[in-house]
Structure 1
Amino acid sequence: MNNRIALLRKTLSLTMEEFGKRVGVTRSAISNIENGKRNLTDQMILSICREFNVNENWIKTGQGEMFTPEPENEFDVFAKNFNLNDFERNFLEKYLKLSKQEREAVTIFIESLTNNTMGAFLGMIPKTPEELESQYPPVSDSTHKAI
């Protein structure tokens, strides 16, 4: 992994100091990583991937391309920024492409599901202390000790 950091840095034409500054560490930290005296932390890997658009799999294993492909459109950028999976990305893209009327219908449908679910849940909650005790009688000391 350490030699891939050196290769990445040289590919980007950055000094150790410039590279380190961009990921929040010192020049000596980058030197220690490249020389194998220090290992990359998961946080450092994430910082490098985010800052330089690097393929995490490439850093960890050497497999695949060094850089991740640039997003093709606004939805790809949005999905990347919010770490959406494919389903979430596709759902939002299709939802936003609906007409205003169709989006309102979907919103009403989702709100009705939420209200029905919450209504059913709230209906199960006892309304008085007496109702609570009748549904869930207190445990007596003798029953408690037997358990």
Structure 2
Amino acid sequence: MNFRGKNLAQAPAPVPVPAPKRFSLKVALWLLDSPRLGDKHSVKHLAGRLLKQPARQGVVVAQSRLGQMLCRDCGNARDRRIGHELLRQAARAGDRRAQLEFGRLCQRSAPEQARYWLELAAAQGSQEAGRLLKQGSLG
């Protein structure tokens, strides 16, 4: 073997590794939607870890579900801030669940913003958003 010379410089470029399939996303959503498993802390923790990478890659449903989990189930302020931002991104992308949840989060601090997001969710068929709008407690 000759380790010096042109042979090393002409080595083929590394083959790019294909992006991971959406398997982890599907597993996470299945775990969260499972009636027997979805409420268990350890299952939520695993699902959150599985949702993390797709959410970072901009997968809207992953952003929405992870954002909801972080806002509802985490006790520290940092995780809630991250969840809030993920929900905002998913809501902007048109996710009805994220629009509803983000609207709920904004009700006390920014009622006009809450109304905006709830109206978008209601326009997409969210009955819960419609109910919250009819209560009239928003700006």
TM-score (norm 2): 0.20
Q: Highest CA radius of gyration, 1 or 2? A: 1
TM-score (norm 1): 0.20
